[in-house]
Structure 1
Amino acid sequence: MSSQKENTRICCMCGSSPSKDSSITLHRFPKPGSKNALRCELWAKYCFPNKAWSSPKFQDELHSKHKMLCSKHFESTCFIEKKLFRTAVPGVQGILEETSQKSPSAPSHIEVRSTEDIDRSHLDTHAIIETSRGCATESDLDIGNVRCKTFTETVSEDNKHKLTVLMHNETDGTPAENPQPRKQ
């Protein structure tokens, strides 16, 4: 049984394994559901662009078969120590830039200022912090295309995590009005 577990503990993109490279960590595909719909879709699209990545059934299969991605596929800002944020998306810049090219009439940068206190006690290897307004995308905001411009995080002494994401209007660089997240 342990040999089967060892065989599944590899990155589905590059085949990396912590047993071969101790500097990487593996992160399980997110569990599909209404809170994770966009995130599941982005993970699936990143890893399997030529498959039915938008299908909830396909996304559920990726989660239930314990498919994993290694830390090489995430920006360093997606982690606290070796723990991955619950809202982290692999290859964020490439996917969000691709999204912003689909609609040239909409601004690709806006300013979103969001600060949330989050209890770090819920951190584990596969499900880390919920930051509902982290990197915003067209799918979760009532606006055109957006891309993270600045990502800042601080951890306070009382084990709370504060997250601030700043985006700017591409045309003149001025802060845009705060968009409202869509209700699911």
Structure 2
Amino acid sequence: MAGGAIIRAAGGDDLDAFFVYLNDHLRDNGSGTTALFMPMPRAASRFGPEREAAFRKALGIALGQPGWRRLWLAIDAQGGIAGHIDLRARPEGACAHRTLLGMGVHRDARKQGLGARLIDLAATWAAGEAGLDWIDLEVLSVNAAARQLYGRCGFVQTGDIADMFRIDGEALAYTFMSRRLRNF
């Protein structure tokens, strides 16, 4: 599925299909052999209308302004979404030189190198067009596959908070990772 995926910036016309894909993707959150990857209960793993509206709004905010967000989609040969990556402004005003990363890869496209391709594209954009110095991310510590991918892509662990979340009766830690793009 992912071998020939084309990665491109998402436009407004892509968002309805993106949210369908994202909610399908969230069905995997902590199911079967897939680690919990979003800090939300398994039965409530959904990107609701309020979050969709906020996401749409953020995509329209100019780069460098508080609340901006950018999204790229990996489109497979059949025209379906095989994965996504988004970068967004950090909420702290003095952190305009940094961005937060979010991403996901469709269950049928995992372990084929698509995640690394998405990260490389986003990092190139962030260092170039956006002029950012750092990409930060937060990942549930139980998600070993994601942490390994991020490590292979140049992210280093910068912190860990034990018992950050209590979800479905589990105490879950949160790992913080960063990748330097440019020197200050």
TM over 0.5: no
- Select the structure that is richer in strand: 2
Larger Rg: 1
TM-score, normalising length: structure 1:
0.30
- Select the structure that is richer in helix: 2
